Amino acid sequence: MKITGLKILKREIVRNKKGDILKYLTKDESFFKKFGEIYFSEVLKNKIKGWNFHKKNKCLLIVPYGKVRFHFIDGRFNSSSFFKEKMVIVSKTNYKLILVPPGVWFSFKSLSKLSLVANCLEKPHKEGETLKSNKIKNYIIPN
């Protein structure tokens, strides 16, 4: 199902016999407005993190290591895709950058022993900007 504003973009991998280079982001890309903060989230196998909801920040998510299933639910009341869902699996073999607009709930689960999710935000994290919940619709994430 399509969620308005949620974009999944192919990223380049430069092959190298000493170790590959996984491209993330350049300042020239049309969707990239400004840099606020980047953080990395480790996720252990079969563990789920989320539900997360950013009020104002757009998230630029990528998985440089491991394999992760993302689950998105549009939480914007005025959106034509309100409460629509989308799932996508990202890994080195399906290397993608996910642009998550503000107001879209998301969670993620590691499908490999250890995964690393990078998130680039346009504005530094501030208290109260992010909402968290363990239940959205009928999806419960155990503590």
CB 85, CB 105: distance < 8 Å: no
Model's pTM, two decimal places?
Answer: 0.94
Q: For the chain, which domains are there?
A: 7-19+33-140 (2.60.120.10)
Instruction: Report pLDDT digits (tens) over 37-77.
Output: 999 999 999 999 999 999 999 999 999 999 999 999 999 99
Q: Please name the amino acid found at residue 102.
A: P
CB 100, CB 36: distance < 8 Å: no
Task: Supply the pLDDT for residue 141.
Answer: 83
First to last CA, the chain: 28
Instruction: Report pLDDT digits (tens) over 29-48.
Output: 888 888 899 999 999 999 99
Give the whole-angstrom CA distance, residue 68 versus residue 77: 28
